[in-house]
Every structure is written in structure tokens, then in C-alpha cells.
Structure 1
Amino acid sequence: MPEPLYRHPTRSEILELAAQEGHDADIPSNVGTIHDIAHRHHSTSSEIEKEKSLKTHKRPSPDLLKDLEKGELHAGSISSLSDDAVPENEELDPNIVWWEGPEDPENPMNWAFRKKWGTVILVSAITFLTPLASSMFAPGVPEVMETFHSTNDMLEGFMVSVYVLGFAFGPLIIAPLSEMYGRLPLYHSCNVAFVVFTIAAAVASNMSMFIVFRFFMGCFGGAPLVLGGGTIADLISREQRATAMVVWMMGPTIGPCVGPIIGGFLTEAKGWRWNFWFVAIVAGSFCLMSFYCMNETSASTILARKTKRLRKETGNDKLRSKLDSDLSTTDLFKFSIVRPAKMFFRSPICFAMCTYVAITYSYLYILFTTFTEVFTSQYHWKGGVIGLSFLGLGIGSLIGQTVFTHYGNKLAQKHMLAGTFVPEHRLHIMAYGGPFLPIGLFWYGWSVQAGVHYMVPMIGTGFIGFGLLMTFMPASTYLVDVFTVHAASAMAASTVSRSFCAALIPLSSQQMYAAMGYGWGNSLLGFVGLAMVPLPLLFIKYGAKVRGWTTVKL
């Protein structure tokens, strides 16, 4: 086997890929692990030569890892390594298995255009469908309550929000399993399980069965949210990836708002159970397409299989993949579950941002679980028209995503080019967009209370949708920039906390509106949102100091 040439990845490439693949950078991405570049930078040229001659692989020192956890630009840490400070090419150890040159057909980056973008479109479609299913049957909730002979207001909200509770648990298991077995087996198994539990929800005979099946729909429906970003990073070059990521991200941001619009008319025409039959049919079609069209895209899995094949062909048991992580199954699960908890409770920045996002995200599901009742009782809407009450929220979310994608990234790139970028620059657009959320809640609540024309509260919900996206998106990118190597753990902490809040807080929304009315009820939510508005301003001013005196030991 000829020795291929290998260009060492830069630190920024490793961090970016790890974040998109949804794991920390000390677990190998498609271009390696942060440990490799850390060790190279801390070695002298003579040590590098010695390392090459001894064919060894070392881990960085604990002191370096402390720097990595803080994500700071300390002298002597890998953060100070420039992209051109690494040799362009270096001969690999002959026992290291890598791609056979830049045109290797096994490398997913070299797949045909139709095959690559076909996979991206299919993954984006699945990612759109599963969040859509979270709220699609919301307009049919009164029919569900009637079918199961229930008058419990708490269950009325929980049957909608329990889906996102599954989003909290599923990714914690799916992420480490994908590192061990690759992305494709997880796509196939989760797609099949999602279809099975969707059908089960469609034929449920009592409320308990229905809620349990909805929970498992959320657990398995979270797979494309965990795996999709990594799949796109596997296939699409860095220069073309932004477009694909925007298309993929539209699923979790727009899907939950579009679902009820479809569900309202479908419930009127065929009954609430057909919301689930519709999702099952579409998801089943995607599942069959994925079996036929999709191939494994994870470089670490492909190279592991190649290594196994070459060992058998050559009899050389010393062969190992360049992307071999040397991590046990226990370690992977530990990183997936324990690290986010440590990040949430030990980092003031992570705790504050996760709390802000969790509160605002729970407002989204308060609206999902109450819109039907509000527009039925206040505006006497009936049938499929009920689904249109979610339109303002969807349009506002779409505008918010567009504004953030353009202006948020433009501001960050301006400072990057000037060499003055710090993570807190991500929060400026959050400081401008955050007030739209409480403004929208006040607008929506009091216009509904006054019974003015329905377009007035719908405009208010548009402000809410805009404020939600302008809070959620900057907070996510800020966590990635602050925690760099361990960005995935910070994001997992955010996902779990916001999913728990979105599942549990809406349970009391009906009682709140009954006791306080729509005006003061939404004002209460608005005042809490207003209290959170100064948070990005505080971090813009003091964030660097907070990062300087806190260290999260993972």
C-alpha cells in the first residue's frame, strides 16, 4: 500500500467540523482530533522527528487541556497556532490508514454531485418532517381530548410538549452510538422506529398510550437533528457548506410553525388521527428512499472498515485508522451525558445562556398548546382555519433566521477580518433582537384580551417568532465560540435544558390564562422575558472577564 500524503488540518478546521458533527473536538472529526494539533504545536522539531521515527501518538498535557476548556488565546496553547504554521505535507506512518490521495473515491467529499446533494436534500427533508410532527396535531387537541374522554388541562398541554421531552433524551444516546457505529445505522434504525411509533400514536386507544408513543416519536425523531450537520460536513466542502446548512437548519426553526397550518385542515377533513398517518406515510417514504439512496458518510467509520479489510488482506494487525479515537464505549457515553451536566452547572456563561434559551423556547410551546383555545374562544375560529393562527409565528421565525444569517454573520466576519473578534461580538444582534420577544407577548396578550381584529394578535406573534430566533441563534453560536473544543457539550446542555422547560412549563399555561386572563398572563411571560434582555449586554461588557476567572474541569 503506497504511503499517501496528508495535509495536517488546522485548528479552525477541526473545531468547525467537530461542532457541525455534534461532538467535542477531542473526539476525531473527519480531519482528526484537536489532540493531534495540540501535540504537534507543543513539540520541538527534533521531538517531531523522534515521534515519526518511533511511530508513537501522544496526548497533550493536562495543563493544555485546561486552556482548551476555557477556549482562550493563551501564549503557548494551540489557540495561538496560525493556520500556516503547520507543515503542508507530512509522510504518514505506514501503519496509519488514510485516504489514497485527494481523489480517493471512498472519500464522501469525492462523490458525484447528484449523490452528494441528493443525500443533503433527503437529510434536510427528514429534518424538516420530524420537528413539524412536534406540533402538527396541535389544532386537533380538542378532538383528542374528546376521543379519550379527558378534561385534564395539564394533559391537554402535555400531549403536545411531551414530544420535545423526547428531544432531550434521544440525542444523548444517539450521539455516542453514531461515533461507534457510524451515521447510517442510526439514520435507518431511528427512521424505522419513528415510523413505528407514529403509527402507534395514530392507533392509540387511550391517553397514556398516546403520550408514551409521542415521547418515543420525539426520542427517535431527534436523530436528524443530531446527525444532519455532520452529514453535511462529511459531503460538502467548507466553501459550499453554508448554503446546505441554512437549508438544513430551516427544519427545526420553521417546521414546528408550519405543522399546525397543515394539521388544522387535515384534522377538519379526516380527523386528528390522520395527522399521524400523514407523518407516517411521508416518513415511511423517506425511510425507503434512505435505504436505497444513502450510504455511510462518516470518514471515521469508512476508514475503520477499510482498516479492518486491509488487516485481513495483508495480515498486518498493526494497521490503524488515522481517525481512531481510542475511546471506549463507556467514555463516549460519559462524554455525551456527564459533560453537558458539568458544563451547565459549573459554567456561569453556559448556565445563563441555557436558562435564557430554555425560558424563551418554552414560550413557543405555551403558544402551541394554547393557540387553538385562544382563537376558538376569542375569535370563534373553527375547523382548518385554526391552523392559520400559527402563521404569524412562522413568518416571524423565518424573518428572524434571515436577519441573523445575514447581519449576525456579517458583524462577526467584520471583526474576524480586522483581527479583533471575540465571542461576545455574537451577542450584539441578540441585544437588539431580544426586546422583540416581550414586546410581542404584550402585543399579543392585550390585543387578544381586548378582542380586536385577529390580524393584530397575529402580528404580535410575528414579533414573538422574530424575538425567539434572534435569541436562540446568537446564543447557540456564542456557546460554540466560547467553548470551542467542548462546544458540543455546551450545545447538548442547551438542548436538554430547553427541551425539559418546553415540555414542563406549558403544563400550567391553561390555568395561568384562566386565573390571569390573556392580557396579564402574557404580560407575566413578557416581564420575565424583559428581565432577561440585559443578559447579552452584561456578557458583552463582562464576558471576557467571566471567561478569564472560570475554568470547567471536564
Structure 2
Amino acid sequence: MSIRAEKEAESTRDSSEYEKTETDKGNGGLEEEIETTRDKKPEIAQDDLGDDLERHLSRKSTRKQKLEPEKHPLMDLENSLVGWESQDDPINPRNLTEKRKWSILGGVSAITFLTPLSSSILGPAIPFLNEDFNNTSQILGSFTVSVFVLGFAVGPLFFSPLSEIFGRRIVLNVSNVIFCAFSLGCALAPNLNSLIVMRFLAGLGGSACLTIGAGVISDLFPIEQRGKAMAVYTLGVLFGPTIGPIIGGFIAQRAGWRWVFRVIFITGVLLSAAILALYPESNHVVLLDRKTARLRKELDRPELLNILTHKKDTNSLLRRNILLQGLIRPLRLLFTSPIVFLLSLYMSFVFGLLFLLFTTITQVYIKTYGWSPELCGLSFLGVGLGNFLGIMFVARTSDATIVRLTKRNNGVYEPEFRLPTCVFFGFLIPISFFWYGWTTYYHVHWVVPIIGLLPFGCGMMGIFAPIQTYLIDSFPQYAASAVAGLTAIRCLFGAVLPLAGPSMYEALGLGWGNSLLGFVACAMIPFPALIYKYGGVIRKKWPVNM
């Protein structure tokens, strides 16, 4: 065999192994990803499972005696393909130090905590805002809160595919500037109409981090670390809206509702500046695109192609067509994949319930228990504590669970292994709404409804984190787009469902109104179970054409 043929064969093997890892198919997917767990201390349960899996696979196959490290596509200039210099290439984001990876994720998670917090922080301030603007419409007052989430629904459809084409860093930084600018605009709004417009645009800018974070996790972390990474990231997404009303109530009553937005603006500027200074580009395709462009110029070889996208490059697609495909990808994933659609519908309903509480619980505690607006934010402590307990459980069990299930599956990893716990957490949602609805209806002591919302907060975390991690594992190269489709529909529910709250409670009362929501939540519990059982077959037999 000639030297050229040998290199071509080696490049083909590297590229195919990379694609197999990214699509999580076959025995190699998880084996290659969990190599790093073998040398850890034995007292860590997940690592013990990794060792057990290695011994199991070693007994099963005499040809492959040990787990191999993850393979990345390497340089093959003779075939005009540009890849990583070596498996340990420091430019590859997967080879960053653990401290560096977690610091990057921490920065993205911080801004992802702030923007969802901004979505709900205005809730307790609605009475003061209505008084200033002479507004008597409950629906319009609720819409002032939920219109921010409508911006969350629209923004990811653009920002996520743009981050996959032009890079995470530039898109995240531009969106942060938009968020900060229009948060200041909210503080200066002269009337209710302008405030609603500014809130929508601020939500639009603040939406990018909600889905780019999923892309960052896919860029930086191997499969066996993504559960823990997603738990940290999701903490901000769901814990932020819970903290928002607690802060907003005190600020609005003591300093005025405009200071709510001033605090958001100041904090947003500080976090955006830190991300601008510290966060590097992490998108593998974009990094190799830049390297390809540099080598084309330095070596005077215009025929060089990115090894990750060379099949697309050979089709001579125009840049505008690539951009168009990227922009419609989230919608294609959402509406052509029954997996993405069903899980998105489930998450969307639960997210809508959260914002229904944000827009109604203040009035419930004012009328039922005689609380002041600043104290009403404390009614979300039950949801917040539930969020914390739920995310702790997910962080400690998610990655260990997939290693154990992979062992039982003869060493073959499937993304569906993320979903079994969702069924258990799903039962907590209706329990909370039956509890909360009837205790407030019968004017039971104020602490009882707060405790009743604790299972809801726990259930939300136990549903959101595994589902988002499942989508990252199922569509690793397009993780941001997959989560964008999910985010769009759930934020649409978050914006619209609260508008039905006042009329529903007026017609059915707090008891039967919340029970109706609990019954719907019960009907959706089987969704993750169905995807767990049939999702792998659907993904493999009817893959989505990207």
C-alpha cells in the first residue's frame, strides 16, 4: 500500500470514529467518551461503574482489551483535509483543562441565570406599575411580564443556528448587548406600550444564552460529564425565575418598579463584560473553518477543506444557502422529529405552569392571606427549594445512570438512557397543583401552599435537565438548534398560558382551576416513557435531514 493510500485510510478511520462518537452509535460511542473515568478514585460511584463497564467489554471481546480515548479527525493535507494537529491539540475545546471548561460554563450559566430572572422579576411590581400607568386590565398587566418570554421564544430560532455558523462567542456577546440596552430602555419607558415593546426586545436579546449554553456543553464536555454540566446550566434557567419575584417585590415596594430594571441593567453589563473578556470560541466547526482559511492563505492551497464539513463544501453551497438552512433547522427538528416535538410539548406545558404561577400567585396571596407585594415574592420559596433539591438529585445520578444502563445494554450507549427518571419526576407536577389549588381555595395556613409547590420545583428540574441533555446527545453537532426548537415552543407557552390564568380561576376557582392543570400534567407523564422505549428506533429508522 502506498504512503498516500495509508494516510487516506487513516483519515477515513479517524473521521468515521469521530462521527460515530458524535452520533452515539455502536459500542464505541460511550466507550471512547468515558475513558477519562477509569483513573479516578475508586470511591466515586460513577467511576466504579466505568471500571465495571470496561471489564465487561474486555470479557466480551478479546480483540479490544481496553477502552480507547475519544478520536478526533486529524490533519490530512495530502487529501486536502484540515483537522486537529493531534488528539491532544490544545486548540480543541475538548482538551481544555477541567478548571477552564467549568469556568467557561460558569460564565455562560451566570448570564443564563440573569435573563430568566429578568423574566419574572417584574411580577410583584405589577400593582405599582398599573398605578403609575393607570392600567386596569389584568390581562395587560400579566402580558407585561410574559411578553419577555415571548422574546425568548423568537430569539433562539435565529441566534442558535447563527452560533453554529459564525460561532458561539460573537452571537452571545451581541445578544448580551441587546439585552442590556433594552433593559435600560424598560427603566426609562414613558408608558405601558413602550414598556411592553422594550420588554419583548430585552427578552429577544436575553434568549441567546438559553440555547447557546447547550452548544457550549456539547463543545466542551464528553458524554459522561454532560449530565452534571447540564444540571449546573439548567439551575440558572429554572432557579432564576424563582428568585426573580423575591428580589422584585422588595425592590419595587422600597425603591420603585423602575429600579427593578436598573438593577438588571447594572448586573447585565458586569456579566457581559466578563464573558466578553474570558469566553473563547468553542464551536469545533468554526474553529476548524478559521484554521482552514488560514492554511489556504499561508500554503496557497485554496482547495483545502474543513474535515468536519468537507462533504458539504464539495457541494459548493452558497453562504446564504448555508445560513438559510441553519435558520430553518430548529423548526425542522421541532416539527419533523416526533421525539423533539413530544418532549418539547411536555416541557412547554410545565414551563407555562411556572409562569402562570408568576403572574397569579401575587394576587392570590394579597387577596387570600393579606400579604404586601414585597412579601408575596417569598411565596416562591417552595418552588426554589424544590428546584435546588431536584437539580442536586439530577447532578448526582444522571451520568452514573447512563453508565449503568449502558453496561446492561451490552456496552451500547443510547441517548434515551437519560429519560427514565423523568417519569418519576412527572408525577410531582400534578401532586403540587392539586395541593396548591385546594389549600388556597380553603384558605389553609399560608405555609401549606408554599410547601405544596416544593414538589413542582423538584419535578421541573427532574424533567428539564434530562430532556435537554438527551437532545444534546441525540443531535450533538446541532445541539443549539435542537434546544432552540424546544426553547421556542416552551417560551411560547410561558408567554400565552399565563394570559388564560385570571379568566380560568374566575370561572373554576383556585381548587378546580389548578386541578384541571394537574389532570393535563398527568396525561403528559407517559411522553418520556414512550420516547425511552421507542426513541432509538425512531432516530435510526427515520433520521431528520439536516
TM range (shorter): 0.7 to 0.9
Distance 1:348 1:121, change over 3 A: closer
Distance 1:87 1:230, change over 3 A: closer
Q: 1:93 aligns with which of 58, 73, 77?
A: 77
SS at match of 1:435: helix
2:456 counterpart of 1:464: yes
Q: Partners of 2:103 and 2:516 in 1: how far apart?
A: 47
**1:153 CA displacement:** 1.4
Letter in 2 for 1:10: Y
Distance 1:317 1:486, change over 3 A: closer
2:182 counterpart of 1:174: no
**1:276 CA displacement:** 0.8
Q: 1:402 aligns with which of 392, 406, 413?
A: 392
Q: Partners of 1:467 and 1:392 in 2: how far apart?
A: 12
2:142 counterpart of 1:157: yes
Counterpart for residue 50 of structure 2: none
Contact 1:173 1:333 in 2 (8 A): no
2:128 counterpart of 1:148: no
Q: Partners of 2:223 and 2:407 in 1: how far apart?
A: 18
SS at match of 1:205: coil
Q: Partners of 2:199 and 2:360 in 1: how far apart?
A: 18
Q: Partners of 2:296 and 2:444 in 1: how far apart?
A: 74
Q: 2:432 aligns with which of 440, 444, 454?
A: 440
Q: 2:306 aligns with which of 321, 336, 340?
A: 321
**1:463 CA displacement:** 1.6
Counterpart for residue 385 of structure 1: 375
Over the aligned positions, Cα root-mean-square deviation in angstroms equals 3.4
Q: 1:206 aligns with which of 173, 186, 191?
A: 191
Question: How many pairs align?
Answer: 488
Distance 1:518 1:531, change over 3 A: same
Distance 1:236 1:372, change over 3 A: same
SS at match of 1:126: helix
- Which stretch shifts more, 442-451 or 228-237? 228-237
Distance 1:468 1:123, change over 3 A: closer
Contact 2:214 2:483 in 1 (8 A): no
Q: Partners of 1:513 and 1:195 in 2: how far apart?
A: 35
Letter in 2 for 1:405: A
**1:233 CA displacement:** 4.7
Letter in 1 for 2:148: Y
**1:408 CA displacement:** 4.4
Distance 1:484 1:383, change over 3 A: closer
Counterpart for residue 22 of structure 2: 14
SS at match of 1:204: coil
Contact 2:224 2:403 in 1 (8 A): no
Distance 1:340 1:462, change over 3 A: same
Contact 2:436 2:449 in 1 (8 A): yes
Counterpart for residue 512 of structure 2: 520
2:260 counterpart of 1:275: yes
Distance 1:180 1:472, change over 3 A: closer
Distance 1:415 1:129, change over 3 A: same
Letter in 1 for 2:487: T
**1:381 CA displacement:** 1.1
Q: Partners of 1:244 and 1:86 in 2: how far apart?
A: 19
**Where does structure 2 lack aligned partners over 5 or more consecutive residues?**
1-6, 25-65
Distance 1:336 1:377, change over 3 A: farther
Q: Partners of 2:329 and 2:377 in 1: how far apart?
A: 40
1:11-38 Cα distance to aligned partner (Å, 9 max, x none)? 453247xxxxxxxxxxxxxxxxxxxxxx
Contact 2:215 2:479 in 1 (8 A): no
Q: 1:258 aligns with which of 237, 243, 247?
A: 243
1:367-416 Cα distance to aligned partner (Å, 9 max, x none)? 01111111111111114222111111111122222223334444432220
Distance 1:482 1:179, change over 3 A: closer
Contact 1:176 1:332 in 2 (8 A): no
Counterpart for residue 341 of structure 2: 351
Q: 2:366 aligns with which of 371, 376, 392?
A: 376
Distance 1:185 1:507, change over 3 A: same
Counterpart for residue 184 of structure 1: 169
Q: Partners of 1:218 and 1:364 in 2: how far apart?
A: 17
2:119 counterpart of 1:119: no
Counterpart for residue 311 of structure 1: 296
SS at match of 1:434: helix
Q: 1:530 aligns with which of 509, 518, 522?
A: 522
Counterpart for residue 42 of structure 1: none
TM-score by length of 2: 0.79
**1:195 CA displacement:** 0.7
Q: Partners of 2:88 and 2:458 in 1: how far apart?
A: 44
Counterpart for residue 33 of structure 2: none
- Which stretch shifts more, 337-346 or 525-534? 337-346
Q: Partners of 2:407 and 2:75 in 1: how far apart?
A: 33
Distance 1:181 1:541, change over 3 A: closer
Q: Partners of 1:546 and 1:233 in 2: how far apart?
A: 22
Contact 2:214 2:480 in 1 (8 A): no
Counterpart for residue 63 of structure 1: none
Distance 1:189 1:400, change over 3 A: same
1:330-350 Cα distance to aligned partner (Å, 9 max, x none)? 444444443443444444444
